[in-house]
Chain A
């Protein structure tokens, strides 16, 4: 049973509830004979049911993504705290009870014998509430329309990413033959939002931050796509499902799975560096370098708009780790007892934890250094990776057919 199949059944069930409601409204809107009835009629058709099922599927994918987002932020806080010899956000039920006592003035009736700690994840909810209650400031001399559009472009293109990658071959909100190309296209919408908000803030720090971001994303997109090209050549497809199936089927010594990380290690390294720059995490977070640019292109934003940027960055991080898993780490392939979706999430979280360790143990690098790294080192490396793949996929099999060489790849 796929996610879409389940959603289709849900759609059929919900149409049975919806049709009586629509029929009840008949004649309530005199100029039109029965608009609700038309909608109900359309929804009951095959196309209508499919549309509804897609709607459900995308929403489920978004919910899964948002839950993961909260987990990633919590993980980042806790691991960062442990690296820095701290404990990070902590909250226990006993502390909650004490807060309740303080607020109400008398002891609540519910009591715990043990101090159940470890619900520091609620810190995220507190942060969200704080952001919601803050004033939304628009600077007087800012371009108001573009200033408002910047966060919208950024968050919408990032949330769009969540609906695009599959968690397994059955748990997918969308499956396009050009799936990964669509994901990379969605990734590259964000610089428009960054440039827009950086320029519209009418602030020198914001403008420099926006320009840095544009330069960085433009120079890193090329090696990023070139390092992905090797995987596309091997799999012969842009479809995530095909790419993962190809990795699952190819084996190595002793029947071990040969995921793309083994033959294309150079490509994997280039991809990891580039995707780190693409999602703007330390050491590549210079568009918002707080030491010299205060907060870079987000300096003038407050409240929920600032929270949008923060959320979108973590969503992009999660999506980037998911793409890396699909391309190089065998996606949802793994031994039987654990379901494939869990395997996928385990690999994604391993990459994210690796990134968190990097983030809290290296300084930030400089603009000119980042561009030199991108153009002079990563671009040639990704081309070398493509050469290796071409040798592996095209040239070696060609000679194998003529000279009778052993089949290695």
Chain B
């Protein structure tokens, strides 16, 4: 077969959303790639400039369908810095718990959609079954299962209800048992390792140059996590470790990205348990919240997929003058040609699935 371009997308099982990956193949080997984005652009930033500050949390919820709380939280943090709002101590703990529950649900969503990419449909059903547990947990305080709108400027919508801690402990205990069971099915499986090891490799230096952040970067051995390096909420006071794979020649592949996410899920449960222990009593919403803001603010948080940045300029009215969102997946997908070249056509879903694509936040 001569060299030819294959267009994968915008409707294709590999894409996990709405984008096109054009790949140039020589037989089965990829020689070039060209990602095309923008099919899902909803102009969230511009819409936000016509709405009041507190209304925009509904838009940020819809940035990523798998991880909505983390995006709302990033927005709320930026606005709070802009307005100089001090939030109560208990609200910080509740926010941390919700963020980590969301991270668990998001990573489980990723693991579930990664397995059919490798031809393992049972894995999808197993991980999505466990995601239901965490969605049920998130539903208890917020009242919804996908778009929570729970984190508000100045705190959270309402306090955790009675019995939440016991329910969460029960769910986490069950999930830990199941993760042990899955280790035989996935990371100890010969065929799973054949498909993911030494595939889609990039080094730590490459990740920094290309702007790849989050679990994808920690998979190549970089010990960098904004929860520790630029701390927000109460991550400083909580007892937890950054999950990485050791740097070296065998790392930075799809398997190390998978393992980093599995380890992060275990670490998230550790954070939640520590929060339950240290959580003080008190109010969960600041008493006075301003409506107007002047100046500019910039915050970055550790999203489930990498570094989420928001920059807001206020001109003294009750609406933002300029709102800028930087999505971690935009840079990661743009770097696709660098880590796709030289691998086989069958590796495309294995590689593109392993970086955890969410087109909602990418196209904004």
B 8-42 binary contact with A (CB < 8 Å = 1; else 0): 10001110000000000000100000000000000
Any chain B CB within 8 A of the CB of A83? yes
Contact A367–B28 (Cβ < 8 Å): yes
Contact B346–A283 (Cβ < 8 Å): no
How big is the A interface, by class? 20 to 34
Across the interface, B116 reaches (CB within 8 A) one of A204, A291, A367, A368, namely A291
Given A291-B13, A291-B116, CB of A363 within 8 Å of CB of B346: no
Contact B119–A294 (Cβ < 8 Å): no
Chain A contacts for B192, CB-based, 8 A: 362-363
Any chain B CB within 8 A of the CB of A407? no
- Residue with the greatest number of chain B CB neighbours at <10 A, chosen from A83, A289, A290, A292: A292
Q: Which B residues lie at the A interface, using CB under 8 A?
A: 1, 4, 6, 8, 12-14, 28, 115-123, 125-126, 129, 185, 189, 191-192, 194-195, 344-349, 353
Any chain B CB within 8 A of the CB of A360? yes
Given A285-B119, A362-B120, A366-B344, CB of A290 within 8 Å of CB of B191: no
Contact B119–A368 (Cβ < 8 Å): no
Given A85-B125, A363-B115, A363-B195, CB of A291 within 8 Å of CB of B6: no
Chain A contacts for B122, CB-based, 8 A: 80, 83-84, 360-361
Across the interface, A294 reaches (CB within 8 A) one of B13, B28, B125, B185, namely B13
How far does the alpha carbon of A368 sit from the alpha carbon of B344 in the complex, in Å? 9
How far does the alpha carbon of A292 sit from the alpha carbon of B349 in the complex, in Å? 6
Chain A contacts for B14, CB-based, 8 A: 291-292
Interface of B, secondary structure class, is helix
| 19 A-B pairs (CB sep. < 8 Å) | A84-B125, A204-B6, A212-B28, A282-B119, A283-B191, A285-B119, A286-B346, A290-B13, A290-B116, A293-B345, A361-B122, A361-B185, A362-B120, A363-B192, A364-B119, A364-B191, A364-B195, A366-B194, A367-B346
Contact A289–B125 (Cβ < 8 Å): no
Contact A364–B118 (Cβ < 8 Å): yes
| Shortest distance from the beta carbon of B11 to any chain A beta carbon, whole Å | 9
Any chain B CB within 8 A of the CB of A114? no
Any chain B CB within 8 A of the CB of A125? no
- Residue with the greatest number of chain B CB neighbours at <10 A, chosen from A211, A283, A362: A362
Chain B contacts for A285, CB-based, 8 A: 119
Q: Which A residues lie at the B interface, using CB under 8 A?
A: 80, 83-86, 204-205, 207-208, 211-212, 282-283, 285-286, 289-294, 360-369
| Shortest distance from the beta carbon of B115 to any chain A beta carbon, whole Å | 7
Contact B129–A85 (Cβ < 8 Å): yes
Given A289-B346, A365-B195, A369-B194, CB of A211 within 8 Å of CB of B119: no
Chain B contacts for A282, CB-based, 8 A: 119
How far does the alpha carbon of A285 sit from the alpha carbon of B344 in the complex, in Å? 16
Q: Which residue of B has the minimal Cβ distance to A373?
A: B194
How far does the alpha carbon of A212 sit from the alpha carbon of B27 in the complex, in Å? 10
| Shortest distance from the beta carbon of A6 to any chain B beta carbon, whole Å | 44
| Shortest distance from the beta carbon of A313 to any chain B beta carbon, whole Å | 16
How far does the alpha carbon of A83 sit from the alpha carbon of B346 in the complex, in Å? 26
Chain B contacts for A363, CB-based, 8 A: 115, 118-120, 123, 189, 191-192, 195
Q: Which residue of A has the minimal Cβ distance to B345?
A: A292
| Shortest distance from the beta carbon of B21 to any chain A beta carbon, whole Å | 10
Across the interface, A291 reaches (CB within 8 A) one of B4, B117, B125, B126, namely B117
Contact A283–B28 (Cβ < 8 Å): no
How far does the alpha carbon of A212 sit from the alpha carbon of B4 in the complex, in Å? 16
| Shortest distance from the beta carbon of A291 to any chain B beta carbon, whole Å | 4
How far does the alpha carbon of A285 sit from the alpha carbon of B118 in the complex, in Å? 11
Contact A294–B12 (Cβ < 8 Å): yes
Chain A contacts for B353, CB-based, 8 A: 291
Contact B28–A291 (Cβ < 8 Å): no
Chain B contacts for A208, CB-based, 8 A: 6, 28, 345
Given A84-B125, A208-B345, A366-B347, CB of A291 within 8 Å of CB of B119: yes
Q: Which residue of A has the minimal Cβ distance to B343?
A: A366
How far does the alpha carbon of A85 sit from the alpha carbon of B128 in the complex, in Å? 11
Chain B contacts for A289, CB-based, 8 A: 119, 346
How far does the alpha carbon of A367 sit from the alpha carbon of B1 in the complex, in Å? 15
How far does the alpha carbon of A9 sit from the alpha carbon of B189 in the complex, in Å? 56
Contact A360–B13 (Cβ < 8 Å): no
Contact A86–B125 (Cβ < 8 Å): yes
In order of increasing CB-CB distance, the 10 nearest A-B pairs are A364-B119, A363-B118, A291-B349, A363-B120, A84-B125, A366-B346, A291-B117, A363-B119, A362-B191, A360-B122
- Residue with the greatest number of chain A CB neighbours at <10 A, chosen from B126, B192, B194: B194
How far does the alpha carbon of A365 sit from the alpha carbon of B346 in the complex, in Å? 9
Contact B12–A360 (Cβ < 8 Å): no
Q: Which residue of A has the minimal Cβ distance to B125?
A: A84
Chain A contacts for B119, CB-based, 8 A: 282-283, 285, 289-291, 363-364
How far does the alpha carbon of A365 sit from the alpha carbon of B120 in the complex, in Å? 11
How far does the alpha carbon of A293 sit from the alpha carbon of B4 in the complex, in Å? 15
Across the interface, B344 reaches (CB within 8 A) one of A204, A361, A362, A367, namely A367
Q: A85-B129, A364-B346 are in contact. List 4 more A-B contacts (CB 8 A).
A: A212-B28, A290-B13, A291-B14, A364-B120
Q: Which residue of A has the minimal Cβ distance to B116?
A: A291
Chain B contacts for A366, CB-based, 8 A: 194-195, 344, 346-347
Q: Which residue of A has the minimal Cβ distance to B7?
A: A204
How far does the alpha carbon of A294 sit from the alpha carbon of B120 in the complex, in Å? 15
How far does the alpha carbon of A292 sit from the alpha carbon of B194 in the complex, in Å? 17
| Shortest distance from the beta carbon of A261 to any chain B beta carbon, whole Å | 23
Chain A contacts for B347, CB-based, 8 A: 366
Q: Which residue of B has the minimal Cβ distance to A207?
A: B1
Chain B contacts for A286, CB-based, 8 A: 346
How far does the alpha carbon of A86 sit from the alpha carbon of B126 in the complex, in Å? 10
How far does the alpha carbon of A224 sit from the alpha carbon of B13 in the complex, in Å? 33
How far does the alpha carbon of A263 sit from the alpha carbon of B346 in the complex, in Å? 38
| Shortest distance from the beta carbon of B32 to any chain A beta carbon, whole Å | 15
Chain B contacts for A294, CB-based, 8 A: 12-13
Contact A365–B191 (Cβ < 8 Å): yes
Q: Which residue of A has the minimal Cβ distance to B129?
A: A85
Given A286-B346, A360-B121, CB of A365 within 8 Å of CB of B194: yes
Q: Which residue of B has the minimal Cβ distance to A368?
A: B344
Across the interface, A85 reaches (CB within 8 A) one of B123, B126, B349, namely B126
Across the interface, B1 reaches (CB within 8 A) one of A84, A211, A290, A364, namely A211
How far does the alpha carbon of A290 sit from the alpha carbon of B348 in the complex, in Å? 12
| Shortest distance from the beta carbon of A320 to any chain B beta carbon, whole Å | 20
Chain B contacts for A361, CB-based, 8 A: 122, 185
How far does the alpha carbon of A283 sit from the alpha carbon of B195 in the complex, in Å? 11
Q: Which residue of A has the minimal Cβ distance to B349?
A: A291
